Amino acid sequence: MPQYSQGRLFFQNVASNRDIPVSSAIGIEVLNGAIDKLVQNVFPDRWILVDVSIAPSTIIINEVNGSEIARCRVRYLSFLGIGQDIKRCAFIMETSSESYMCYVFEVEPSAAAMAKTIEAACKLRYQKVLDYHTTKQFSTTGSNYGGYSQVNEPIGRNDREKAKNAYF
């Protein structure tokens, strides 16, 4: 069960392994391929027991003994999903231009809570970006109901509502 502390949600004693290189930033096929590769090539007793800390800006993966495996910026997360086995979820991170890594987790009894928490972090991050650009534009136009973005698309209340319901 996740624990909440200082704006972060912790998932403790989750099985994982180090990052897996993948060929693409998005796609459930890519995600399932990475999960299958891990499951087929690494025996369950070789998986690493980790604690995962999820905040709106960062996902931190630590070994249970305390050493940090990865610190992932939510802004670079490109795809998130649950595998064919409900206990497994994974996400893909952009590590550099055209280079992507997949992080796979096995959570008992289900990975749904972890996936939903990461999804919420993505939504919060996206909302912060929208709010920043909207506030920046409103301060120059003086309007409280809309303005124009740098690509001359209208920005307003409806866009914020769409952002709240967006899925990544």
Q: Per-domain residue ranges for the chain?
A: 3-118, 120-164
- 146-166 pLDDT per residue, tens: 544 444 444 444 554 444 444
Q: How far apart are CA 94 and CA 1, in angstroms?
A: 28
What is the CATH class of 3-118? Answer: mainly beta
Report field, pTM of the whole predicted structure over 0.85: no
- 24 DSSP assignment: -
- 72-122 pLDDT per residue, tens: 999 999 999 999 999 999 999 998 888 999 999 988 889 999 999 999 999
Q: Is the pLDDT of residue 133 over 60?
A: yes
Question: Based on the number of CB atoms within 10 Å of its own CB, is 21 exposed (0-12), middle (13-18) or buried (19 or more)?
Answer: exposed
Q: Which of 98, 44, 91 is nearest to 70 (CA)?
A: 91
